[in-house]
A and B are shown apart, each in its own frame.
Chain A
Amino acid sequence: MGTKLKVVDNSGAKLVKCIQALNATKKGAKLGDTIVASVKEAHPNGKVKKGKVVYGVVVRAAMPRGRCDGSVVKFDDNAVVLVDKQGQPIGTRVFGPVPHELRKKKHVKILTLAEHIA
Protein backbone atom coordinates (compact mmCIF):
# COMPACT_ATOMS: atom_id res chain seq x y z
CA MET A 1 0.00 0.00 0.00
CA GLY A 2 1.20 3.47 -0.79
CA THR A 3 3.45 2.22 -3.58
CA LYS A 4 3.61 4.36 -6.68
CA LEU A 5 3.42 2.28 -9.82
CA LYS A 6 4.05 3.12 -13.43
CA VAL A 7 1.10 2.58 -15.77
CA VAL A 8 2.21 0.66 -18.85
CA ASP A 9 -0.82 0.93 -21.11
CA ASN A 10 -2.49 3.68 -23.16
CA SER A 11 -5.37 4.28 -20.77
CA GLY A 12 -4.15 7.82 -20.12
CA ALA A 13 -2.87 7.44 -16.57
CA LYS A 14 0.88 7.75 -16.01
CA LEU A 15 1.37 7.07 -12.32
CA VAL A 16 -0.93 5.49 -9.76
CA LYS A 17 -0.66 5.03 -6.02
CA CYS A 18 -1.78 1.75 -4.53
CA ILE A 19 -4.48 2.16 -1.90
CA GLN A 20 -5.57 -1.46 -1.44
CA ALA A 21 -4.36 -4.90 -2.53
CA LEU A 22 -7.19 -7.25 -3.45
CA ASN A 23 -5.66 -10.52 -2.35
CA ALA A 24 -6.06 -12.88 0.58
CA THR A 25 -2.71 -12.11 2.23
CA LYS A 26 -2.28 -8.99 4.27
CA LYS A 27 1.24 -8.38 3.06
CA GLY A 28 0.43 -6.28 0.03
CA ALA A 29 0.27 -6.98 -3.66
CA LYS A 30 2.71 -9.19 -5.56
CA LEU A 31 3.26 -9.88 -9.22
CA GLY A 32 -0.08 -10.69 -10.86
CA ASP A 33 -2.27 -9.37 -8.04
CA THR A 34 -5.07 -6.88 -8.53
CA ILE A 35 -4.93 -3.59 -6.68
CA VAL A 36 -7.09 -0.55 -6.13
CA ALA A 37 -5.21 2.65 -6.87
CA SER A 38 -5.69 6.35 -7.23
CA VAL A 39 -4.41 8.12 -10.32
CA LYS A 40 -1.67 10.58 -9.40
CA GLU A 41 -0.52 11.65 -12.85
CA ALA A 42 -2.40 11.44 -16.11
CA HIS A 43 -2.18 12.58 -19.72
CA PRO A 44 -4.51 15.51 -20.43
CA ASN A 45 -6.64 13.78 -23.08
CA GLY A 46 -6.71 10.21 -21.75
CA LYS A 47 -9.61 7.97 -20.79
CA VAL A 48 -8.58 8.05 -17.14
CA LYS A 49 -8.41 11.34 -15.29
CA LYS A 50 -6.24 12.37 -12.39
CA GLY A 51 -7.74 11.69 -8.97
CA LYS A 52 -9.90 8.75 -10.06
CA VAL A 53 -9.91 5.47 -8.16
CA VAL A 54 -9.11 2.61 -10.53
CA TYR A 55 -8.37 -1.11 -10.55
CA GLY A 56 -5.12 -2.46 -11.87
CA VAL A 57 -3.12 -5.65 -12.33
CA VAL A 58 0.54 -5.67 -11.25
CA VAL A 59 2.41 -6.85 -14.36
CA ARG A 60 5.97 -6.10 -13.22
CA ALA A 61 7.42 -6.08 -9.73
CA ALA A 62 10.97 -5.58 -8.55
CA MET A 63 10.28 -7.94 -5.67
CA PRO A 64 11.35 -11.51 -6.57
CA ARG A 65 8.46 -13.90 -6.99
CA GLY A 66 8.69 -17.68 -6.99
CA ARG A 67 7.48 -19.53 -10.04
CA CYS A 68 5.72 -22.84 -10.21
CA ASP A 69 8.90 -24.58 -11.43
CA GLY A 70 10.85 -23.41 -8.38
CA SER A 71 12.79 -20.61 -10.04
CA VAL A 72 12.48 -16.96 -9.12
CA VAL A 73 11.73 -14.00 -11.37
CA LYS A 74 12.10 -10.29 -10.81
CA PHE A 75 11.69 -7.23 -12.97
CA ASP A 76 13.21 -3.82 -13.40
CA ASP A 77 10.36 -1.69 -12.02
CA ASN A 78 6.89 -1.80 -10.52
CA ALA A 79 4.27 -1.46 -13.21
CA VAL A 80 0.53 -1.85 -13.50
CA VAL A 81 -2.10 -2.24 -16.24
CA LEU A 82 -5.43 -0.59 -15.51
CA VAL A 83 -8.52 -2.81 -15.70
CA ASP A 84 -12.20 -2.37 -14.96
CA LYS A 85 -14.07 -4.24 -12.25
CA GLN A 86 -14.61 -7.24 -14.53
CA GLY A 87 -10.88 -7.51 -15.22
CA GLN A 88 -10.97 -6.22 -18.81
CA PRO A 89 -8.11 -3.81 -19.64
CA ILE A 90 -9.08 -0.17 -20.12
CA GLY A 91 -6.34 0.60 -22.62
CA THR A 92 -5.73 -1.12 -25.94
CA ARG A 93 -1.97 -1.61 -25.71
CA VAL A 94 0.45 -2.98 -23.13
CA PHE A 95 4.12 -1.96 -23.14
CA GLY A 96 7.12 -3.97 -22.04
CA PRO A 97 7.38 -7.55 -20.78
CA VAL A 98 4.68 -9.21 -18.69
CA PRO A 99 4.94 -12.53 -16.82
CA HIS A 100 3.16 -15.65 -18.03
CA GLU A 101 1.67 -16.09 -14.55
CA LEU A 102 -1.14 -13.73 -15.67
CA ARG A 103 -2.67 -16.66 -17.52
CA LYS A 104 -3.22 -18.44 -14.23
CA LYS A 105 -4.84 -15.31 -12.85
CA LYS A 106 -7.24 -15.24 -15.83
CA HIS A 107 -5.80 -12.09 -17.38
CA VAL A 108 -5.45 -13.55 -20.85
CA LYS A 109 -6.47 -10.28 -22.50
CA ILE A 110 -3.41 -8.52 -21.08
CA LEU A 111 -1.19 -11.35 -22.30
CA THR A 112 -2.53 -11.07 -25.84
CA LEU A 113 -1.93 -7.32 -25.87
CA ALA A 114 1.59 -7.63 -24.43
CA GLU A 115 4.71 -7.12 -26.54
CA HIS A 116 6.83 -9.69 -24.71
CA ILE A 117 5.99 -12.50 -22.34
CA ALA A 118 8.70 -13.44 -19.84
Chain B
Amino acid sequence: MRLEKCWFCSSTVYPGHGIQFVRNDAKVFRFCRSKCHKNFKMKRNPRKVKWTKAYRRLHGKDMTQDSTFEFERKRNRPERYDRNLTENTLKAIKTIDKVRSRREAKHIENRKKGKKAQERREARNELDQSISMIKAPSVLKEDPSLTLPKIKVKVSQPQAEEPMEE
Protein backbone atom coordinates (compact mmCIF):
# COMPACT_ATOMS: atom_id res chain seq x y z
CA MET B 1 0.00 0.00 0.00
CA ARG B 2 1.32 3.35 -0.97
CA LEU B 3 0.65 6.91 0.15
CA GLU B 4 0.22 8.83 -3.09
CA LYS B 5 0.30 12.58 -3.60
CA CYS B 6 -2.75 14.48 -4.74
CA TRP B 7 -2.33 15.79 -8.28
CA PHE B 8 -3.93 19.13 -7.46
CA CYS B 9 -2.92 20.12 -3.93
CA SER B 10 0.07 17.76 -3.41
CA SER B 11 -1.24 16.51 -0.10
CA THR B 12 -0.98 12.85 0.83
CA VAL B 13 -3.75 10.55 -0.36
CA TYR B 14 -4.32 7.93 2.31
CA PRO B 15 -5.73 4.50 1.43
CA GLY B 16 -9.47 4.53 0.91
CA HIS B 17 -9.61 8.26 0.31
CA GLY B 18 -10.24 10.25 -2.80
CA ILE B 19 -10.73 9.29 -6.40
CA GLN B 20 -8.44 8.50 -9.28
CA PHE B 21 -9.10 9.40 -12.86
CA VAL B 22 -7.43 7.49 -15.70
CA ARG B 23 -7.12 9.45 -18.92
CA ASN B 24 -7.17 7.63 -22.25
CA ASP B 25 -3.40 8.01 -22.59
CA ALA B 26 -3.16 5.99 -19.34
CA LYS B 27 -2.04 8.91 -17.19
CA VAL B 28 -3.43 8.51 -13.70
CA PHE B 29 -4.61 11.58 -11.78
CA ARG B 30 -5.14 11.04 -8.07
CA PHE B 31 -7.16 13.42 -5.94
CA CYS B 32 -7.33 13.57 -2.16
CA ARG B 33 -10.91 14.84 -1.96
CA SER B 34 -13.77 16.04 -4.12
CA LYS B 35 -12.57 19.66 -3.77
CA CYS B 36 -9.43 18.84 -5.74
CA HIS B 37 -11.32 16.67 -8.22
CA LYS B 38 -13.81 19.46 -8.91
CA ASN B 39 -11.04 21.98 -9.41
CA PHE B 40 -9.44 19.60 -11.89
CA LYS B 41 -12.71 19.23 -13.76
CA MET B 42 -12.95 23.02 -13.92
CA LYS B 43 -9.54 22.87 -15.65
CA ARG B 44 -7.90 25.07 -13.05
CA ASN B 45 -4.15 25.26 -12.97
CA PRO B 46 -2.84 24.29 -9.52
CA ARG B 47 -0.03 26.80 -9.97
CA LYS B 48 -2.56 29.61 -10.09
CA VAL B 49 -4.76 28.49 -7.19
CA LYS B 50 -3.46 30.04 -4.01
CA TRP B 51 -4.09 27.27 -1.52
CA THR B 52 -2.19 24.55 -3.37
CA LYS B 53 1.33 23.44 -2.60
CA ALA B 54 2.36 24.14 -6.19
CA TYR B 55 1.41 27.83 -5.86
CA ARG B 56 3.13 28.21 -2.50
CA ARG B 57 6.32 26.63 -3.81
CA LEU B 58 6.30 28.69 -6.96
CA HIS B 59 5.87 31.97 -5.09
CA GLY B 60 8.48 31.31 -2.43
CA LYS B 61 5.98 30.93 0.39
CA ASP B 62 7.25 27.53 1.42
CA MET B 63 10.66 26.03 1.80
CA THR B 64 11.49 24.24 -1.46
CA GLN B 65 15.07 23.02 -1.28
CA ASP B 66 16.04 21.08 1.77
CA SER B 67 17.91 17.88 2.53
CA THR B 68 15.01 16.62 4.63
CA PHE B 69 12.86 16.29 1.51
CA GLU B 70 15.26 13.68 0.18
CA PHE B 71 13.99 11.09 2.64
CA GLU B 72 10.45 11.23 1.32
CA ARG B 73 10.82 9.60 -2.06
CA LYS B 74 9.10 7.05 -4.25
CA ARG B 75 10.96 3.77 -4.11
CA ASN B 76 9.97 0.94 -6.41
CA ARG B 77 12.13 -1.75 -4.85
CA PRO B 78 10.46 -3.51 -1.93
CA GLU B 79 12.57 -3.55 1.20
CA ARG B 80 13.18 -6.84 2.97
CA TYR B 81 11.80 -6.76 6.50
CA ASP B 82 14.43 -6.14 9.12
CA ARG B 83 13.44 -5.41 12.70
CA ASN B 84 16.44 -3.21 13.46
CA LEU B 85 16.03 -1.23 10.30
CA THR B 86 12.36 -0.62 11.01
CA GLU B 87 13.18 0.51 14.53
CA ASN B 88 15.83 2.91 13.30
CA THR B 89 13.52 4.25 10.61
CA LEU B 90 10.80 4.97 13.12
CA LYS B 91 13.30 6.81 15.30
CA ALA B 92 14.65 8.74 12.34
CA ILE B 93 11.19 9.85 11.26
CA LYS B 94 10.73 11.79 14.50
CA THR B 95 14.14 13.44 14.29
CA ILE B 96 13.78 14.37 10.65
CA ASP B 97 10.32 15.76 11.26
CA LYS B 98 11.62 17.92 14.07
CA VAL B 99 14.48 19.22 11.93
CA ARG B 100 12.19 20.02 9.05
CA SER B 101 9.59 21.84 11.12
CA ARG B 102 12.36 23.93 12.68
CA ARG B 103 13.75 24.82 9.27
CA GLU B 104 10.32 25.70 7.96
CA ALA B 105 9.73 28.02 10.91
CA LYS B 106 13.09 29.65 10.19
CA HIS B 107 12.13 30.08 6.55
CA ILE B 108 8.94 31.89 7.54
CA GLU B 109 10.84 34.08 9.99
CA ASN B 110 13.26 35.05 7.25
CA ARG B 111 10.41 35.83 4.94
CA LYS B 112 8.86 38.21 7.46
CA LYS B 113 12.10 40.04 8.20
CA GLY B 114 11.91 43.10 5.96
CA LYS B 115 8.19 43.59 6.57
CA LYS B 116 8.27 45.96 9.57
CA ALA B 117 10.67 48.49 8.08
CA GLN B 118 8.66 48.46 4.87
CA GLU B 119 5.44 49.17 6.71
CA ARG B 120 7.02 52.05 8.59
CA ARG B 121 8.39 53.56 5.38
CA GLU B 122 5.02 53.35 3.68
CA ALA B 123 3.26 55.00 6.63
CA ARG B 124 5.74 57.89 6.63
CA ASN B 125 5.30 58.40 2.90
CA GLU B 126 1.56 58.49 3.26
CA LEU B 127 1.77 61.04 6.04
CA ASP B 128 4.03 63.27 3.98
CA GLN B 129 2.05 63.09 0.79
CA SER B 130 -1.55 63.12 1.90
CA ILE B 131 -1.68 65.29 5.02
CA SER B 132 -3.80 67.67 2.94
CA MET B 133 -6.61 65.11 3.09
CA ILE B 134 -7.08 65.99 6.78
CA LYS B 135 -6.07 69.68 6.74
CA ALA B 136 -6.26 71.93 3.74
CA PRO B 137 -2.91 73.45 2.74
CA SER B 138 -4.25 77.02 3.31
CA VAL B 139 -5.16 76.22 6.93
CA LEU B 140 -1.70 74.88 7.48
CA LYS B 141 -0.25 78.18 6.28
CA GLU B 142 -2.40 80.27 8.61
CA ASP B 143 -1.95 78.20 11.72
CA PRO B 144 1.70 77.41 12.10
CA SER B 145 1.08 75.19 15.12
CA LEU B 146 -0.31 72.51 12.86
CA THR B 147 2.86 72.15 10.89
CA LEU B 148 6.25 71.19 12.09
CA PRO B 149 8.21 74.14 13.59
CA LYS B 150 10.46 75.90 11.17
CA ILE B 151 14.10 75.49 11.80
CA LYS B 152 16.50 78.28 11.00
CA VAL B 153 19.38 77.14 8.92
CA LYS B 154 22.37 79.27 8.17
CA VAL B 155 22.93 79.57 4.48
CA SER B 156 26.21 80.78 3.20
CA GLN B 157 25.23 82.81 0.22
CA PRO B 158 26.65 86.05 -1.11
CA GLN B 159 23.92 88.56 -0.21
CA ALA B 160 23.95 91.35 -2.74
CA GLU B 161 27.46 92.49 -2.06
CA GLU B 162 27.69 94.19 -5.40
CA PRO B 163 24.97 96.62 -6.26
CA MET B 164 23.28 96.13 -9.49
CA GLU B 165 24.86 97.95 -12.35
CA GLU B 166 22.87 100.09 -14.59
Residues of A within 8 Å of B22, CB to CB, are 60, 73-76, 97, 99, 118
Cβ of A64 and Cβ of B19 under 8 Å apart? yes
Interface code B1-45, partner A: CB below 8 Å = 1, 0 otherwise? Answer: 100000000000001111111111110100000000000000000
Least distance between B165 CB and chain A CB atoms (Å): 96
Residues of A within 8 Å of B21, CB to CB, are 73-76
Cβ of A69 and Cβ of B15 under 8 Å apart? yes
Question: B4 — nearest CB in chain A belongs to which residue?
Answer: A71
Residue of A70, A72, A74, A115 with highest tally of chain B CB at under 10 A: A72
Cβ of B17 and Cβ of A97 under 8 Å apart? no
Partner of B19, one of A69, A73, A115: A73
Cβ of B24 and Cβ of A71 under 8 Å apart? no
Cβ of A97 and Cβ of B15 under 8 Å apart? no
Cβ of B24 and Cβ of A77 under 8 Å apart? yes
Cβ of A71 and Cβ of B26 under 8 Å apart? no
Distance in angstroms between the alpha carbons of A107 and B161 in the assembled complex: 112
Cβ of B1 and Cβ of A71 under 8 Å apart? no
Residues of B within 8 Å of A105, CB to CB, are none
19 A-B contacts, Cβ less than 8 Å apart? A69-B1, A69-B15, A70-B15, A70-B16, A71-B18, A71-B20, A72-B18, A72-B20, A73-B19, A73-B22, A74-B19, A74-B20, A76-B22, A76-B24, A97-B24, A97-B26, A99-B22, A118-B22, A118-B26
